[in-house]
Amino acid sequence: MILCPKITATTFSFEEYFELKAIPENQYVKIENIDKESCLECHSKTTGYSEYHNPELIGCISCHLGNPNTLDKDKSHKGMVLIPGNLIDASVTCGKCHPNELSKIEKSLMTTNSGLVAVDKFIFEEADSPDYHYHIKDIKNSPADKHIRDLCANCHLGAEKKEFGEITQMSRGGGCNACHLNYTEDAKTDLVNYLSSDKKELPKFHPSTDIFVTNEHCFGCHSRSSRISTNYEGWQETLLNETEIVNKKDYRVIEDKRVYEYKGEDVHHTKGMLCIDCHSSHEVMGDGKEYTHMEQAVKLQCSDCHYKEKPTTIPYDSLDTESLLVFLHRGYTHYDKQILVVEEDKHPLVNTFVDSLGNAFLIGKKDGALHPLNPQSEVCSKDNAHKNVSCATCHSSWTSRCIGCHNQFDEAEPRAFDLLDKTYGKGQWKEYVAEFSSSAPAMGVRENKKGKHIEPALPGMILTIDKGSYTGKGIGEDVSFHRLYAPNSPHTTSSEVRDCKSCHSNSATLGYGMGELTYEIENNKGKWKFNPDYTSNPNDNLPEDAWIPFLKEVGVGVVNSTRSDFRPFTVQEQQQLLLVGSCLECHSDDSKIMRQSLIHGINPLLNNLNKNCILPTWN
């Protein structure tokens, strides 16, 4: 038997970690039969294990179960779990040593998919709000539920990994494996030999289960929907097929055959940073609370690293157990330095520190590179006019756009695949998309008890749903149209900010859709005019890609967002934005008067207008 201590806020080596005598025995996880397991009689001289999952320390049955007390093959393999870590067995495998982590994972959004289910049910008019909490494993077969099963239910941690092999772009779910399974090149080759020998040539290289999460672990699920992974790497999805891009530059085909065009990667990606450099275990695995939507679970803000005056920090000896484990596994040595914490919930970013001169740094988890964490620029830190505007609104260079989506049920589909139950049946929802494109993000207003905050938005659901094709009323007999934008974190961060006109006189940004937005002066009067690129949709007479009508109020009761606390600009807010846009027709971004407006706002300047200034009229 080996005793595995729960880590304390003390500095010690790997050996000391497993030999520490000062921790009471009732705080240990007991791993039985370590000295008499029969597994290694056949699986001898196997290597590749991570340092903390070496069978010499924790045995084989800690992960794989089975019977370690017999040399009979069939008896020893009875009850064995070949691929441990799926949520279906995690309570008796990974969760035996990591119960706190498992408890958090089971409540995390990556497991429940609550937001996905909530918005889909809301759109299908099966719920009166997008804010109810759900768990994807509980959905049944309503029109919305079937829609999720057919098109969306692949990406959740409860999806079981049943095949041997590394995590790839095609991987979905797998519980703990989704993030923590790593294959070396030797392990990959060994697996091929094992399978090709009809499983007679036993592997000598075991895959590793560790904390070294790569972007590939995130890609499979996060290259769908808002396409965060592909955006981060600089790629925009297209409707092209691979035969149409032969010999074309700036295109790639990913493993599921979708074709992407290069648009420009996130500045953090250019520096070699991984997703987990920002999104630590506290966010990825969750904090043990149940959330409905992603933005409720994500606590990290840009200002936590790129702070205004000084960062929020804690000392090493105040780290929680989970953070100490990451610190230990990563081999960090900055015990004597302050560590940055996230302002909202105070979880630590253990790969950061502040040196003796007050300079903050991030240690890249990919290669150990040291990245300076620059404070906010003087423009950002002293900008009063935009203090309620998120960093992503100005610093996101582009975001994905999807319009013209039609959803119809094909009752004749003979091999419909249920992504949740992994079974085949007859009849399937199918989705037909008119266009994928990209542009600078639109802007919307998050308005709740925390106040009003302007955030990026994208046309996430401009779509029709033919419910009659599923309910039996007949195709085209019960069709609903929806024009919903969604709050979005594009993950296309640029160190350069958008210019002022790209917000104050850009039609797509303001919610009108792509087109020509011009400021015209006639008879000493100014007036904004908009000519859309797209024709109007007959369902609501708005341009196909628009969010709101140009300088007109949205109809009473019109639902136009996937969130109850997120909305487009009101007419008054549009006028305020376009008022500044009219000033920008003559005054450049860096002119003295526009710089003054950042500090004092636009209103004081309106009291001292030049006779040549012609402000817009709104009638």
pLDDT of residue 32: 56
pLDDT grade, residue 21 (50/70/90)?
Answer: very low
* Helix (H) / strand (E) containing 447: strand 442-448
Bridge partners of 446, per DSSP, are 453, 566
Band the pLDDT of 7: cuts 50, 70, 90: very low
- pLDDT at position 612 is 87
Going by pLDDT thresholds of 50, 70 and 90, the confidence category of residue 8 is very low
Tell me the helices (H) and strands (E) count for the chain, helix number first: 28, 26
Q: Which amino acid is at 538?
A: P
Give the whole-number percent of the chain exceeding pLDDT 90: 81
Average pLDDT over residues 75-104: 95
**pLDDT of the residue at 102:** 96
Q: Specify the residue for token string 């850009």.
A: 506
Instruction: Tell whether the model's pLDDT for residue 44 goes beyond 90.
Output: no
Predicted confidence at residue 286, as pLDDT, reads 93
pLDDT in tens, 489-547: 999 999 988 999 999 999 999 999 999 999 999 999 999 999 999 999 999 999 999 99
494: region left, alpha or beta (phi > 0 left; psi from -120 to 50 alpha): beta
- Quick one: pLDDT at residue 309? 84
* Residue 613 DSSP class: -
Tell me the backbone φ, ψ of residue 362, rounded to 5 degrees: -120, 135
Task: For residue 27, give Cα distances in angstroms to 9, 199, 482, 531.
Answer: 14, 40, 54, 69
Q: What are phi and psi of 399, to 5 degrees?
A: -145, 160
pLDDT value at position 133?
Answer: 97
Q: Confirm if 503 and 509 have CB atoms less than 8 A apart.
A: yes
HSE (side-chain half, CA atoms, 13 Å) at 68: 19
Residue 35 has a pLDDT of 62
pLDDT digits (tens, 9 = 90+) for 213-226: 999 999 999 998 88
What average pLDDT does the segment 143-164 reach?
95
285 vs 279: CA distance, rounded Å: 10
Q: What confidence tens digit (pLDDT) does each residue in 361-389 have?
A: 999 999 999 999 999 887 776 778 888 99
Tens digit of each residue's pLDDT (9 = 90 or more) over 395-422: 999 999 988 999 999 999 999 999 999 9
Is residue 25 over pLDDT 60?
no
In sequence order, what are the beta bridge partners of 30?
3
CA torsion sign, 254 to 256 to 258 to 259? positive
Task: Report the percentage of the chain scoring pLDDT > 70.
Answer: 94
What's the whole-number average pLDDT of the chain? 91
> Region 557-574: what's the mean pLDDT?
95
Residue 603 pLDDT more than 90? no
pLDDT reported for residue 29: 52
Whole-number Cα distances in Å, 75 to 84, 200, 228, 302, 410: 19, 18, 47, 55, 48
Residues in the chain: 619
Higher-pLDDT residue of 22 and 276 is: 276
Q: Extract long-range pairs of 162-169: CB within 8 Å, 24+ residues apart.
A: 162/83, 164/82, 164/83, 164/191, 164/195, 165/191, 166/207, 167/216, 167/217, 167/220, 168/216, 168/220, 168/255, 169/216, 169/219, 169/220, 169/223, 169/254, 169/255, 169/256
pLDDT digits (tens, 9 = 90+) for 449-501: 989 999 999 998 899 999 999 999 999 999 999 999 999 999 999 998 899 99
What does each C-alpha distance from 370 to 50, 351, 365, 366 come to in angstroms? 25, 10, 10, 11
Determine the average pLDDT of the residues in 436-459.
93
What's the pLDDT at 26?
Answer: 40
